[in-house]
């Protein structure tokens, strides 16, 4: 089970979620009226030590989808520069998700 944290000004909650074993890190940002950020990390491959802190930083990524994605990519560069070796990005209206694979 991946260790996750969901953050918004009204809610901050830790939870576990089942993701495929090959996912090292999953980040999700909903930019709509109910803005939330979710960060999930691999149970044993711990690139990110503090998922709560990262979820709060992802939440602060502002602007439109592309601006937020650029901010998140800079955050990932600081954490693990090799994240770009194998990743997937989904961008939709008021939503983006970044999946980093092992």
SS3 content of the chain, % helix, strand, coil (to 5): 30, 40, 30
* Structural domains counted in the chain: 1
Range of the domain at 85: 2-101
d(CA 63, CA 10): 20
Q: What is the pLDDT of residue 40?
A: 94
Q: What is the pLDDT of residues 27-83, one digit of tens each?
A: 999 998 889 999 999 988 777 888 999 999 999 998 899 999 999 999 999 988 888
pTM value is: 0.91
């Amino acid at each position: 089970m991946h260790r996750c944290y969901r953050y918004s000004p009204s809610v901050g909650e830790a939870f576990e979620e089942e993701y495929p074993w090959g996912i090292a890190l999953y980040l999700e940002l909903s930019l709509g009226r109910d803005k939330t950020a979710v960060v999930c990390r691999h149970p044993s491959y711990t690139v990110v030590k503090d998922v709560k802190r990262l979820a709060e930083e992802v939440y602060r990524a502002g602007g439109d989808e592309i601006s937020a994605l650029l901010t998140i990519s800079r955050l990932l560069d600081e954490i693990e520069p090799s994240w770009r070796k194998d990743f997937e990005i989904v961008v939709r209206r008021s939503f983006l998700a970044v999946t980093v694979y092992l």
